[in-house]
Amino acid sequence: MDEQDIKPLVEVSYLNQGNTWRYRAILGYCFRQHERLHHYVYPEEIYDYLHTDSLFGSYSEEQLQQDLKQLVDWKNLIPRQETGRVQTIDDFKRKKFRYQCTPYTIEIERMIVRLRQLGDSFGGSLEATLFERLQKALSQLQEQGMVLDDAELNQSWEDLYGYFRNMVQNASDYLAHLKSDKVEEQMMTAAFVVYKNAFTQYLQNFILSMQRASFKIEALLKKVSPQLIAEITGRLADYQLSIPRLDAKPSREELIISYRDKYQSMAEWFLGRPGHPSELLSLQNETTETIRRITRFAQRLGERAQAFRSRRHDYIHLAGWFAGMEDIGEAHQLASLLFGVSRTRHLYGGMRLSDNIESKIWEEPPTVVTLIPRVSGYREKTKPGAVINRSKEKQETLREYLIEQRRNEALIEKLIVDDKIIMANLDEIDVFVRKTLLSWITRCMQSRDRTIQTETGRTIWLKDDPSGRRIVLQAADGALEMPNYILEITSSNEKIGEING
């Protein structure tokens, strides 16, 4: 961190003092004269200007001299002794001065003018042409940077970075303007619907121009070599050092670092950096979201106005309808038709038995509802149930299960030939067999040595077909294309010992 970054700025002290109103009036007059190219101002001119306002009616020349001296101490004014107008030795000793604003004061006053013009809202705009200008300037700098002389190269760089700075600042300020509370309040009013199309068209044109030019800019930035950037920044630094200046000059290395950082920030704005998306993408997303937000506001206002307008029309029509009735009975019937029963009770009657939507409610059988007394601690009476012996049903279920298991085991046994099941040799198989074989294959593939042991004590070892051919396994519920696996089956752990050995 440089010392200048933490050094207090005495030049802005006049903005927050007890006599700030006097200091600002003096410097405001000096600044306006500077803008008119009258760089030197005399005390009597300042005094005459201040006395045009009633606020300075009692302001004396001694107070003016004190204020001018204070502003000189704060480095807001530079005194120049006036020698050409001296007529006597006493005049020379009194040192008549004329005053000039310092560069800091000029910039501070310009900032104040911009702040007053800005007001409480953001400015900015979305200039679609800035992307195209930026693209042309970058292309010229890349293609002709080594051909241009130093002055032309400096102007090309100023154009390029100026377009980039204006584009970013204007876009940021304009989107912040659209997000401000004041603008959102205006979006809630019905008058905003008229401007909705203009807003959305303006934003859409900006997005289209940005998308067309951004791809070309990104391609140009990716093509720029570090050697070209080093050469251009060096020449720009040399050009700045060649300009005669009486004040202190930055070193060549500081200028090169400044130019390189500016170019790097511009490249990262378009291309992004590791772990962070580009600011170009963020600007595009934010602009798109702004269009959606404006459209939602306009849609809600339109729906609200339409609903209010149609409901008012209906109420006026109904009011005229009721006003034309002479019989109160007819009015009650009309009200019941329009608004329903004022006090209703909803009764649940159970499921309808008829699917005919034309059937009336009184054509359905009644639903019997047993009411429970509203007494604390009430419990329904229950009868103790007898223990029923279901051992025969359990035995029958177990017998059927064992028969099914023996049948399935028999189906598996038929497929085993020479302690092997070769998928290519199988005919159409049962659904149970298909599920069993596929489950064995899955478990084997999940095992490190491709072996498993089933519930019946079999040891399954999965092997691949050396030829690597594929087959179509036919089952009762469909066909499955798969490799020609070979399952070796043993009824003991001998095979596992062979594998581990």
Token representation of residue 153: 């190269």
C-beta of residue 242 within 8 angstroms of C-beta of residue 150: yes
* Residue 139 domain flag: yes
Domain that holds residue 195: 129-293
For 277, phi and psi rounded to 5 degrees?
A: -70, 165
Token representation of residue 261: 């950082």
* Residue 362 domain flag: no
Beta strands in 33-155 (DSSP E): 77-81, 97-101
pLDDT digit string, tens, across residues 163-212: 888 888 777 777 776 666 666 676 666 566 666 677 677 777 777 877 77
Q: Compute the distance between CA of residue 211 and CA of residue 200 in angstroms, rounded to an integer.
A: 16
Say whether both 134 and 182 belong to one domain.
yes
Closest by Cα among 24, 36, 213 to 105: 24
Say whether both 228 and 137 belong to one domain.
yes
Which residues of the chain fall short of a pLDDT of 70? 1-2, 4-5, 82-95, 117-128, 177-184, 186-196, 199, 246-248, 301-311, 342, 349, 491-501
* Residue 303 domain flag: no
Q: How far is CA 127 from CA 210, 253, 271, in A?
A: 10, 35, 21
Domain end call among 93, 118, 143: 118
Q: Compute the distance between CA of residue 337 and CA of residue 340 in angstroms, rounded to an integer.
A: 6
* Residue 32 domain flag: yes
Q: Compute the distance between CA of residue 117 and CA of residue 119 in angstroms, rounded to an integer.
A: 6
Domain end call among 246, 266, 293: 293
Token representation of residue 425: 């040799």
* Residue 392 domain flag: no
Say whether both 152 and 192 belong to one domain.
yes
Domain end call among 293, 325, 342: 293
- What b/e readout covers 235-263, taking b as 16+ CB neighbours within 10 angstroms? bbbebbeeeeeeeeeeeeeebbeebbebb
Q: What is the CATH number of the domain that holds 54?
A: 1.10.10.10
Token representation of residue 394: 């359990």
* Residue 400 domain flag: no
Say whether both 40 and 158 belong to one domain.
no
Please name the amino acid found at residue 73.
D
For 250, phi and psi rounded to 5 degrees?
A: -70, 160
DSSP 354-420: ---TT--GGGSPP---PPPP--TT-----PPPPPP--HHHHHHHHHHHHHHHHHHHHHHHHH-BTTE
- pLDDT mean across residues, the chain: 81
Say whether both 175 and 289 belong to one domain.
yes
* Residue 355 domain flag: no
Q: What is the reported pLDDT for 120?
A: 45
Q: What is the reported pLDDT for 121?
A: 45
pLDDT digit string, tens, across residues 65-113: 999 999 999 999 998 876 655 566 655 555 678 898 998 999 999 888 8
With H, G, I as helix, E, B as strand and everything else as coil, classify residue 190: coil
Say whether both 102 and 146 belong to one domain.
no
Say whether both 86 and 211 belong to one domain.
no
The total number of structural domains in the chain stands at 3
Say whether both 160 and 254 belong to one domain.
yes
Q: Compute the distance between CA of residue 234 and CA of residue 110 in angstroms, rounded to an integer.
A: 32
DSSP summary character for residue 483: E
Say whether both 422 and 281 belong to one domain.
no
Say whether both 163 and 80 belong to one domain.
no
Q: Compute the distance between CA of residue 351 and CA of residue 364 in angstroms, rounded to an integer.
A: 10
Say whether both 47 and 90 belong to one domain.
yes
Say whether both 107 and 148 belong to one domain.
no
Q: What is the reported pLDDT for 192?
A: 63
* Residue 479 domain flag: yes
